Amino acid sequence: MNTFLSRNRLIVLAYIGMLLLVLITAFFSPGFLSASNLRSTFILASFVGIVALGQTFVIIGGGIDLSIPWVLNSAAVLMTLLCAGQDLPLIWVVPLLLAGGGLIGLLNGAGVALLGVPPIIMTLAANVILQGLILVFTGGTPTPAAPDMIKFLSVGRISGIPVIALIWTALTVLAWLLLSKSAFGRHLYAVGTNVTVARYSGVPTTRTTILTYVISGMTAALGGILLTGYSGVAYLGMGDSYLFTTVAAVAIGGAPILGGSGHYIGTVAGALVLTILTGLLPALNLSSGALLVVYGAVILLTVSIGSETFSEMWASASNRRKRIKEGTENG
Amino acid sequence: MDIVQVKGLTKRFGGIVALDGADFSARLGEVHALLGENGAGKSTFIQILSGALNHDGGDILVDGQDYRPVNPDEALGRGIAAVFQELSLVPDLSVEQNIWFRREPRTWLRTVDVSQMRQQTLELFERYHFPSIATTREVRNLTLAERQIVEVAKGLAKNPRILILDEATSALPASEATWLLSLARQLADEGRLVIFISHRMGEVRAIADRVSVFRNGSTVATHDAAAVSDDQIVTEMIGRQLARLYPERMDTATDRVALQVRDFSSPPMLNGVNFDLREGEVLGVGGLQGHGQREMFQSLFGADKALGSVTLWGKPVCFDTPRQALSGSEGIALVPEDRRGQGLLLTKSVRENLSLPVIRRFSHLGLLNQRKEAELVRETMKSLSIKADTPEQIAGTLSGGNQQKVIFGKMLMTQARVLLLYDPTRGVDVGTKGEIFQLMRQLASEGYAILFYSSDLPELVNVADRVMVLRSGRVARMLEGDDITEEEILRAAVFDSEAA
């Protein structure tokens, strides 16, 4: 564990930042630390965290998944339509939609790993195509309400603990096992670090890359299904904010956008930071436009503090200060 | 007065002391060689000299004036330019664009004066007898050797008073290396200072006026090249007496054919190669660069496609990917040409690098047995005497020789008993070279079959049991016994045997 922490200093930094943010928020809006508020913060963070799980895998592998918004949205719309408010169909609808999300990921991954399409283009195209298909399919009409079971999973509690937090915890454990304790994890980090070296070391690079997109498609679909329970209905555009938040959660969590390192444990902190931030900003009495500006700027700042150039700047600045102090350099 | 004077130079990276009070002094008009094992501090020293790094303590005087450049441009302002081992060319630009990068001749409209640039390039090439490279070719299409030559041209184009050549010959085949040596001599005779780093003693002997030896971050001694013996230099470099560079020759080859290759082709580079590699044998591969050696190694390993039949331990095989070549009990492993681009995950630990090809072997019910992994990694590190603080040390921070040992270790952890070694001693210090040859001999005696390409002729002559010389993608000659000499290898590489 010690080596994990020393190798992932940025993750430690993300958690420290999160604690600071909690203190600041508690100062500005004292109600923040109440049980009900903490619970709703956790519920909201869970959606970001679950959807960002797949994004974390894709980014570690050196790619990016921009198809998340409409994979999520499609799963939400199809779930409500296919269940029509009933719990029973969930038995086959949920597995079907998860498989569907996985299939979109498979296509994304195949395009990237087999055909060499740049990830940005491949997944952006998938996103637009899905958006079009859903618009054609629904004709823009509202869909039925979410089944009660889904509502229970999203906002229900078991002895005071939100069910979705339990789901999130289970997924976090699974992601940790995959990244830190499995051969797939080693392959993934190798592919993200240097795909040629990975190939020359006998790593199944194509399969590894494709699998990250499959995971991302599945977590996006799962996120869509669960989010419907929170909002009560599926609506068009409900996934749009998740593109930025998933990438930001991964980045705040310390994973370099070019891949090769980082961990889902960091993304968890990233998801919490983002959610707490959206809770803090209204407390500052800002207009909704100003809110977005601050939101974006804070994320930009957090991510750049962790970036390599920034830390190099810090290092060289402090070296210079030291030299000036020692008198080996003037001014 | 000496143009460069260095006193008590120190540099640390975190807790690691790279330079520990190094002294150095050199004058215009000489070729001054720097020798030392990898990790001795040579690279750090020249990076400081060329403005790529700042030093922590000590003084550098250039022309008697204090010298502390913050970047390579400032170093160039004082007349110092360097040609580094890690190539710094832009792949998408042409040869001439790279040579004059950021210093392009301009027209009155401030646009790049293309014809002037071409003119200057050709003049430069002619003045220093450069091997012919079309100036308009994109660098991405050049071989490693050609890139190295362009890199030299780029350094020269800056017209420095002091030119640093950091292992510039290591990527070059024999004829181009000879050219570079005479170039260094010519530059010194023009009144410049050439600081020359090489691991090949023969080259240093051929051109250096003086030699400075580095060990453990400081300079041990500076000698007149004519007045010092090889033995003394080697002893100073490694701090003890090296038994011998080349291991004793033993005939461990059996009659059993490990790798049989027939009609192996991938036109235009590879045009029907035939050979048998036997169990326990070290089969050398020679020839001028670009005659199919790289393609043959890559294709046998499954990293490139080729036609023809390959039989491994009596069974026909056809590898489409390196993964297939490495898996199974009867595989083929490759120590690749490009250590940093193909061999190592530079930002990952020694442990992660070593176990990567065999990581699935430690997987039980989907979870890794990390204790077993650590155990095997430790064993491998020990048996190859890889010098790292812990298995968790980042591979990129190891010296070149140790990085190469990690790549050997990776391949030896697989079950493959046919090893393809593509120039495994390139840029490796003399101590590690000896260890690598020793290891090759030992593996051969354990029944491994080794295909060994080297751009350094003496290595082929002294290490290989037989040497096959490739020319135009075919086996020009198979040399055995007393026929294995540098002259014979070169003759076969250059002349048409049928005409002879």
Q: Are A202 and B352 in contact (CB < 8 Å)?
A: no
In a domain, residue B203? The reply is yes
Residue where a domain terminates, one of B209, B238, B267: B238
Is B340 found in the same domain as B486? yes
Residue B103: give its domain's CATH number. 3.40.50.300
Using the Cβ of A176 and the Cβ atoms of chain B, whether some distance falls under 8 Å is answered with no
Bond before B267 cis per omega within 30 degrees? no
Residue where a domain terminates, one of B204, B238, B272: B238
> Minimal Cα–Cα distance from B88 to chain A, Å?
19
Q: Are B323 and A189 in contact (CB < 8 Å)?
A: no
Residue A139 in 3-state DSSP?
coil
| Domain of residue B442, residue span | 257-494
Is B231 found in the same domain as B261? no
> Minimal Cα–Cα distance from B499 to chain A, Å?
40
Phi, psi values for residue B393, rounded to 5°: -60, 140
Cα nearest neighbour of B416 on chain A:
A202
Q: Choose the closest CB to B352 out of A186, A194, A200.
A: A186
Residues 6+ apart with CB under 8 A from A176: A263, A264, A265
Is B283 found in the same domain as B219? no
In a domain, residue B243? The reply is no
Using the Cβ of A203 and the Cβ atoms of chain B, whether some distance falls under 8 Å is answered with yes
Residues 6+ apart with CB under 8 A from B186: B128
Using the Cβ of A175 and the Cβ atoms of chain B, whether some distance falls under 8 Å is answered with no
Residues 6+ apart with CB under 8 A from B152: B83, B165, B168, B180, B183
In a domain, residue B247? The reply is no
> Minimal Cα–Cα distance from B488 to chain A, Å?
34
Using the Cβ of B366 and the Cβ atoms of chain A, whether some distance falls under 8 Å is answered with yes
- Asked which of A111-120, A148-157, B222-231 is least confident by mean pLDDT, the reply is B222-231
Residue where a domain terminates, one of B238, B268, B288: B238
pLDDT value of residue B86: 65
CA dist A136 and A215 (Å) reads: 27
Residue numbers in B near A186 (CB within 8 A):
352, 355-356, 359, 368
Is B299 found in the same domain as B228? no
pLDDT value of residue A127: 97
- What pLDDT band is residue A317 in, cutting at 50, 70 and 90? low
Is B450 found in the same domain as B329? yes
Phi, psi values for residue B31, rounded to 5°: -100, 115
Using the Cβ of A183 and the Cβ atoms of chain B, whether some distance falls under 8 Å is answered with yes
Q: Which residue has the tokens 């995971």?
A: A215
Is B169 found in the same domain as B64? yes
Q: Which of A201, A319, A325 to probe by mutation at the B interface, max B CB count within 10 Å?
A: A201
Q: Choose the closest CB to B368 out of A182, A198, A199.
A: A182
Using the Cβ of B372 and the Cβ atoms of chain A, whether some distance falls under 8 Å is answered with no
Is B471 found in the same domain as B417? yes
- Asked whether the predicted pLDDT for residue A2 surpasses 90, the reply is no
Share of chain A above pLDDT 90, in %: 66
Provide the total of helices (H) and of strands (E) in chain A, helices listed first: 15, 2
In a domain, residue B245? The reply is no
Which residue from B218, B173, B190 is spatially nearest to B34, judged by alpha carbons? Answer: B218
CB atoms within 10 A of CB B447: 13
Is B298 found in the same domain as B163? no
Strands laid side by side in the B449-453 sheet: B332-335, B418-422, B449-453, B282-286, B466-471, B474-480
In a domain, residue B250? The reply is no
What is the full per-residue pLDDT of chain B (500 aa) written as tens digits? Answer: 789 999 999 998 766 778 988 999 999 999 999 988 767 888 889 999 999 888 999 999 999 899 999 888 999 999 999 998 667 888 899 999 999 998 899 998 889 999 999 999 999 999 999 998 899 999 988 888 899 999 999 999 999 999 999 888 877 877 888 899 999 999 999 999 999 998 778 888 889 999 999 988 888 889 998 888 888 887 888 776 556 678 887 888 899 999 999 999 998 889 999 999 999 999 999 988 778 999 999 999 999 999 999 999 999 999 999 999 998 778 999 999 888 899 999 999 999 999 999 999 999 888 999 999 999 999 999 999 998 889 999 998 888 889 999 999 999 999 899 999 999 988 787 788 889 999 999 999 999 999 999 988 889 999 999 999 998 899 999 999 899 988 888 888 877 544 33
> Minimal Cα–Cα distance from B344 to chain A, Å?
6
CA dist A321 and A265 (Å) reads: 35
> Minimal Cα–Cα distance from A316 to chain B, Å?
10
Residue type for position B408: F
pLDDT value of residue B498: 44
Residue numbers in A near B303 (CB within 8 A):
199-200
Residue numbers in A near B355 (CB within 8 A):
186
Strands laid side by side in the B193-197 sheet: B80-83, B162-166, B193-197, B31-35, B210-215, B218-224
pLDDT value of residue B500: 36
Is B396 found in the same domain as B426? yes
Is B231 found in the same domain as B278? no
* Counted domains in chain B: 2
**What is the four-CA torsion angle of B421, B427, B430, B434, rounded to 10 degrees?**
-10
Is B295 found in the same domain as B195? no
Which residue from B32, B2, B6 is spatially nearest to B187, judged by alpha carbons? Answer: B32
Q: What is the pLDDT of residues B333-369, one digit of tens each?
A: 999 988 889 999 999 999 999 999 999 999 988 899 9
Q: Are B341 and A196 in contact (CB < 8 Å)?
A: yes
pLDDT value of residue A300: 82
Q: Counting beta carbons within 10 angstroms of the beta carbon of residue B462, is it exposed (0 to 12), middle (13 to 18) or buried (19 or more)?
A: middle
Residue numbers in B near A260 (CB within 8 A):
347
pLDDT value of residue B184: 94
Which residue from B410, B321, B367 is spatially nearest to A204, judged by alpha carbons? Answer: B321
Which residue from A245, A54, A222 is spatially nearest to A154, judged by alpha carbons? Answer: A222
pLDDT value of residue B499: 39
Q: Are B342 and A183 in contact (CB < 8 Å)?
A: no
Scanning B154-183 for CB atoms below 8 A from A yields: none
Is B32 found in the same domain as B152? yes
Cα nearest neighbour of A200 on chain B:
B322
CA dist B87 and B194 (Å) reads: 19
